Structure 1
Amino acid sequence: MTSTPETAVAPPATASAGDLDADDLSEFGYEQQLHRSLGKFASFAAGFSFVSILTTIFQLFGLGFGFGGPAFFWTWPIVYAGQFLVALCFAEIAARYPISGAIYQWSRRLGGEVIGWFGGWFMMIAQIVTAAAAAIALQVVLPAVWTGFQIVGDDPTLTSTSGAANAVLLGSILLVIVTAINCVGVTWMSRVNSIGVICELVGVTAVILALFTHARRGPDVVFDTSVPGQQPGYIWAFIVSGLMAAYVMVGFGSAGELAEETRDPRRVAPRTIRMALTVSAVGGGLMLLGALMAAPTLGEELAIGGLPYVLDSVLGSFWGKVLLCDVAVAIFICTLAIQTACSRLMFSMARDGRLPFSAQLSHVNRRTGTPIAPSILIGVLCIGILLVNVGNSAIFATLASVCIILIYLAYLAVTGPMLYRRFQGWPHRGGVDAGGKKLFSLGRLGIVVNALAVLYGALMVINLAWPRAEVFDPAGEMPILRWAGPICIAVTVLVGIACFPRGKEHPKPVTFPAS
C-alpha cells in the first residue's frame, strides 16, 4: 500500500497546524487543494444537518406509527445502537485515512479497487436522490406557512398535479441556492450550515419542551402495541415500523467527507462522527416520546397527520407556523449538507480518474478552494430527479425510499472489508496523528464491534429491500414497485459496471496488507 502517516514520528513542534495537516495529506499522495478552514463545530454540523431530525421526523413520524403503533418508539434506540456500531468503525478508520470521499477512500483501502469504486458509486447515487428528496420537502412546509408559496395552482398536496409541480419549483429554487453556496466556498457553506444547525437545535429543544409540557399521557405509552394498520402479527409490524428510524439515521459520516477541509481531521472527524449520530438520536428520541405523550389521539388521525398533527394541536396556528419556518431552515441545511458531502465524494473519485470527465470534475477553483463542477452537476441531476414527481409521485417516493438501501450497502463496503482486514492484524498498534497523539482505536473490542456492525448492516439491507406492497405500493396501482429495492440495486450495479474505469490503472494503487 502507499505509505500512511499512521505510525509516523511526530514532526517538529514549530510547524503550523495547517502545514502538519497538509504534510499528513501528502503522505497519501494528494496535494492540499481544498481550503482547510473547518473547526470542530463545523465538522459536527456537517453530520448533524445531514441526519436533520427536525426534517426527517417531521416527515416520517406517521410512517413508523402507522405500522407499529406507540411501541414503534423502541425501533429508534435499536437502530441507533446498530448505527453507533457502524459509527465506531467509521471513527476508527477516519482517524487513519483523513481523505475527502470518505466511503470511497476507506472501502478501497480495505477492500481493493472494485469494492472501493462501487462503495463510492452507491453512496454518490444515494446522496443525489436523497438531496432531491430533502429539497422536495419544502412543499410540505412553505405553503402551510403562507399560501403565497403555492405558486402553481391552488392544491398544495404533494400528490396532486399542482402540488407536484409546485414542489419541483420550490425544490429547484432551493437546489440552485445551495449549489451557489457550495460554489462560493467551504467557508461560506460552513457559516450558513452552522447557523442553520443552531436554529435546528433551538427548534428541536422548543419542540421537546412544548410536547412534554402538554403531555396527555405518561411515558408508559411506549409499551402500547396497538396497531393502527392491518398487519399479520405485531413482530412483523414492529420490523416494518423500524424503516422510519433506518431512513433517518444516515449521513452521520459526513465529517469524513470534509476531512481535507477540516483542521486536525484525525482527531476531529472521529469525535464528530460519533457526536452527530448521538445528538441526533437523543434529540429524535425525545421528540418521538414527547409526540406520543402529547398526541390528542393514538388512532388513525395520528398515523395520517404525524408530527404536524400533534404540533398543531399543541402549539396552535401562530407558533405552529414559527416552527414550520424552523423546519424549512432544517430542510435547507439538510439539502446543503448532502450536496456538499456528495460533491466531495465525486471530487475524490474524479481526482483518481475513476469517473467519466474526471479532469473537469476534479478541478478545484484556486480562489474558492472548491470543486465547482461536481456541485453544479449534482444540482442539475437533483432537479432532473425532482421532475419525476410531476409525472408520478409514487415513483419519486419509492426512489427516495430505496436509495437508503444504497447508503447501507456503501456502509457495508467499508465495515465488511474492515472486518476481514482485522483478522490480518489491522489496524497496527502505535498509530499517531500529525502531532504525535494516539489515534482513536477500538482496541480489543474491534473485532466484536465490527462483526456486529456487519451483521446489523446486512439485516437492515434485507429489511429495507423486502418487497412490501404496504411500503412501496400502498395504493396498489403499480405492483412492480414492491420490488423497487432489488430492482434499484440491480440497475445501480449494471450502470456502475458500464461506468467502471476498466483498463485504467489507478494512479495511487492500494497494496495489501493494509496498514
Structure 2
Amino acid sequence: MSDQHQEDVNDLATFGYKQHLHRSLGSFSSFAAGYSYISVLTGMFELFGFGYAFGGPRIFWTWLVVWIGQMMVAFCFAELASRYPIAGSVYQWSKQLNGAIASWITGWVMLVGDVVTVAAVAIAMQIVLPAIWSGFEVFKNTTQNAVFLGIVVLILTTLLNMSGVHIMSIVNNIGVAAELVGVTVFVILLIFHTQRGPAVVLHSMGAGAGVPGSSFLGGGAALLLAVIMPAYVMYGFDTACTLAEETKDPRRKGPRAILTALAAAGLGGALLLLFAIMASPTLNPTKLGVAGLPYVIEAALGTTLGKIMLVDVAVAIFVCTLAIQTATIRLTFAMARDNNLPFGHLLSRVSHKANSPIFPAIVSGVVAALILVVNFGKPQIFTIVTSVAIVLVYIAYFVVTGSLLFKRGKTGMNEKGNGGLFSLGKWGPVVNGVAFLYGILMSINLIWPRSSIYGSGVDAWGGLIFVVAVIAVGFVYYQTVQRHKSARLGIVLDHRADSDSDIID
C-alpha cells in the first residue's frame, strides 16, 4: 500500500468511513467523470434547436451567461471538494454544512434529478442512431423506437457500472477522449464552411417573436427561454468529485477536475455554437429550430462525413449516460451508507469482485427504464419530468452554495487555504454570493409555468407541481420514517471506520 493510498484511507476515516471502494482513478479519469456528465455534444445535438427557436443567433450569449454562472458554482464546489473528499459530493457537502433534514432533502432531490436525467440522456440516441443507419429504426413509431434504444443503452451502462470502476473509467475515458477530439474536429470543419461573420450573434433573426413579452428589453422574455438550453447542458460537473473515494489524492485532484471539466465544456460548446451558426445554410428560426444541429452538420459536411461524425456523437451520448448513472450510483451508495435510504445495508454493499456497489446500479437502471416506458402513454409527462429533473439538480446546487455562504459569513471558510486546500481567498464571499443568486434565479426561470416547455393548460404547471410534490414527499417521508431511523442507526456498521467487520458479496 503506497503512502498516498494510506493517507487517503486515513483521511476518509476522519469522516467516520472505512475505505471499501477501489481507489484507482487519476487526474484524467476524475476530469472525464465531470466532463462526460456535461457532454457538450449530447446537449448540443439534443437541445440546439430548442434554444435557437427562441434566441436565434443570440443564443451564443445565453451560453456565455450560463457558463459564467456555473463557473461561480464550480469554484464553490472546488472549495468543498478539497475539504470534504467523500463519495456523494452534493449530498455529503450539504451534510457537512447543514443539519440532518437539509442534507437529506438535498440528497433526495439530487437523487430524483439524477435518475430521471439518466433516462432523458439515454433516449437521446434516437436523434443520431437512425440517422447513421436505418437498421436502428427497429420500430416505425419514433417514440417507441426512442424508448427501445434508450433501454438498450441503459442495459449496457448498468452492466458496465456493475463490472467495477476500473472498467467503467476505461470506457468513460475513451469516450471522453473521443468527444474532445470530436468537438475539436467539428469546430475546425465548420470554420472552413462558414457563410457569414461572427457579428451574426448580435441579431435575433426574428426568433421568439411569438413569445408573450418578447419585445421586452429587446426580446428578453424569449431569451429567458433560450437560456434554458445551456442551463440544461452545463451541470453535473460535481460528478468529478462524487468519485472522491475512488480517486487518488482527491483533495487536490477533485477541485482541479471540477474546474477543468466545466472550463473545457464551456469553451468547446461556445466555439461549436458560434461556428455552427456561422456555417448554417439558413438562420430561419422556424426551420433551424426544428432541424437543429444535425441539419447544420450534414449540410456543411455532407452526408458521408456527417454520418461519421454522428458516430462520435453517439459515443458521447453513451458515455454521458454512463457517467450520470455512475453519479447516481455513488449518491445512492453514500446515502444508503448513512442509513438514509430504505434497505441501506443492501444498497451500500460493495462487491469484492468489482469493488463497486452492485445493487444501486441495478436499481438505477431499472428505475430509469421504467421512466422511459412512461413515454409510451403520454410523451408530455416525460417532457415535464425530464425538465423538472434539471430544476431539482439546480435546487440541490443552490442549497449547497447558500449553506456555504452562510457558513462563510458565520464561521469562515479557511480563506487562506491552509494545508494546500483550494481557496477563493478574499474573493470567496463575492463568488459564493453570485453563485447562490444565480442558482435561485435560474431555478425560478426553469420552473416558471410555460406552455413552450411543459405544454398547455394544466401541463404548463407540471414543473412546479412536480417539484413541490418531490420536495413534499421527501419532507414527509423524512419526518415520519427517516428521521428516527437515521438518528438511531447512523452509519451502517460495515462502513464505520472503527468497525472490524467487512462487507461480503
Q: Give the TM-score normalised by the residue count of structure 1.
A: 0.91
Deviation of 1:394 after TM superposition, in Å, equals 2.0
Deviations 1:217-240 (A, max 9, x none): 000001012323313311111111
8 Å contact 2:82–2:421 — kept in the other structure?
Answer: yes
What letter matches 1:507 in structure 2?
G
CA distance in 1, matches of 2:425, 2:415: 9
Greater shift, 486-495 or 406-415, is seen at 486-495
8 Å contact 1:110–1:418 — kept in the other structure?
Answer: yes
Question: Which of 200, 222, 227 is the equivalent residue of 2:206?
Answer: 227
Paired position in structure 2 for 1:345: 331
What letter matches 1:298 in structure 2?
L
8 Å contact 1:52–1:334 — kept in the other structure?
Answer: yes
Paired position in structure 1 for 2:161: 182
CA distance in 2, matches of 1:309, 1:208: 15
Deviations 1:370-420 (A, max 9, x none): 010001000000000000111122221222112100000000121111111
Paired position in structure 2 for 1:59: 46
Deviation of 1:145 after TM superposition, in Å, equals 1.0
Q: What SS does structure 2 have at the residue aligned with 1:427?
A: coil
Paired position in structure 1 for 2:498: none
Q: What SS does structure 2 have at the residue aligned with 1:297?
A: coil
What are the residue-to-residue correspondences of 1:472-491 with 2, within 5 Å? 472-473=454-455, 476=456, 479-491=457-469
CA distance in 2, matches of 1:255, 1:205: 22
- Any runs of at least 4 consecutive aligned residues in structure 1 with deviations exceeding 6 A, and if so which? none
Q: What SS does structure 2 have at the residue aligned with 1:98?
A: coil
Gaps of 5+ in 2: 493-505
Question: Which of 245, 248, 253 is the equivalent residue of 1:260?
Answer: 245
Paired position in structure 2 for 1:448: 430
8 Å contact 1:430–1:438 — kept in the other structure?
Answer: no
Q: What SS does structure 2 have at the residue aligned with 1:216?
A: coil
Deviation of 1:499 after TM superposition, in Å, equals 3.3
8 Å contact 1:47–1:252 — kept in the other structure?
Answer: yes
8 Å contact 2:415–2:428 — kept in the other structure?
Answer: no
Question: Which of 495, 501, 513 is the equivalent residue of 2:473?
Answer: 495
CA distance in 2, matches of 1:495, 1:84: 32
8 Å contact 1:208–1:287 — kept in the other structure?
Answer: yes
Paired position in structure 1 for 2:450: 468
Deviations 1:145-193 (A, max 9, x none): 111111123xxxxxxxx21111111111111111111111000000000
CA distance in 2, matches of 1:346, 1:174: 20
CA distance in 2, matches of 1:227, 1:330: 32
What letter matches 1:287 in structure 2?
L
Question: Which of 234, 240, 244 is the equivalent residue of 1:249?
Answer: 234
Greater shift, 423-432 or 104-113, is seen at 423-432
What letter matches 1:240 in structure 2?
L
8 Å contact 1:355–1:499 — kept in the other structure?
Answer: no
8 Å contact 1:111–1:418 — kept in the other structure?
Answer: no
Deviation of 1:508 after TM superposition, in Å, equals 6.0
8 Å contact 1:83–1:249 — kept in the other structure?
Answer: yes
Greater shift, 260-269 or 493-502, is seen at 493-502
Greater shift, 37-46 or 494-503, is seen at 494-503
Aligned residue pair count:
480
8 Å contact 1:356–1:499 — kept in the other structure?
Answer: no
Paired position in structure 1 for 2:495: none
Deviations 1:255-311 (A, max 9, x none): 110000000000000001011001000000001101110011110211111111111
Greater shift, 494-503 or 419-428, is seen at 494-503
Paired position in structure 1 for 2:35: 48
Question: Which of 279, 282, 285 is the equivalent residue of 2:267?
Answer: 282
What letter matches 1:208 in structure 2?
V
Paired position in structure 2 for 1:199: 178
Q: Give the TM-score normalised by the residue count of structure 2.
A: 0.93
Q: What SS does structure 1 have at the residue aligned with 2:160?
A: helix
What are the residue-to-residue correspondences of 1:24-423 with 2, within 5 Å? 24-153=11-140, 162-229=141-208, 230-231=210-211, 232-233=214-215, 234-299=219-284, 300-423=286-409
What letter matches 2:470 in structure 1?
T
CA distance in 2, matches of 1:215, 1:40: 36
Deviations 1:62-103 (A, max 9, x none): 111100111121001111111000000000010000000111
CA distance in 2, matches of 1:28, 1:411: 22
8 Å contact 2:116–2:389 — kept in the other structure?
Answer: yes
CA distance in 2, matches of 1:429, 1:144: 52
Paired position in structure 2 for 1:11: none
What letter matches 1:497 in structure 2?
F
Q: Residues 470 and 365 from structure 1, CA distance in 2 versus in 1: closer, same or farther, beyond 3 angstroms? A: same
Deviations 1:422-468 (A, max 9, x none): 11223236655xxxx41101111111111111100000011001111
Q: Residues 431 and 30 from structure 1, CA distance in 2 versus in 1: closer, same or farther, beyond 3 angstroms? A: farther
CA distance in 2, matches of 1:182, 1:357: 20
8 Å contact 1:92–1:441 — kept in the other structure?
Answer: yes
Q: Residues 376 and 15 from structure 1, CA distance in 2 versus in 1: closer, same or farther, beyond 3 angstroms? A: closer
Paired position in structure 2 for 1:6: none
CA distance in 2, matches of 1:382, 1:443: 41
Deviation of 1:498 after TM superposition, in Å, equals 4.1
CA distance in 1, matches of 2:316, 2:269: 14
8 Å contact 2:417–2:425 — kept in the other structure?
Answer: no
Paired position in structure 1 for 2:441: 459
Greater shift, 284-293 or 437-446, is seen at 437-446
CA distance in 2, matches of 1:184, 1:291: 38
CA distance in 2, matches of 1:335, 1:186: 15
What letter matches 1:503 in structure 2?
H
Question: Which of 409, 412, 434 is the equivalent residue of 1:426?
Answer: 412
Q: Residues 141 and 429 from structure 1, CA distance in 2 versus in 1: closer, same or farther, beyond 3 angstroms? A: closer
What letter matches 2:9 in structure 1?
A
Gaps of 5+ in 1: 1-13, 154-161, 510-515
Deviations 1:310-339 (A, max 9, x none): 111011111111111111100100000000
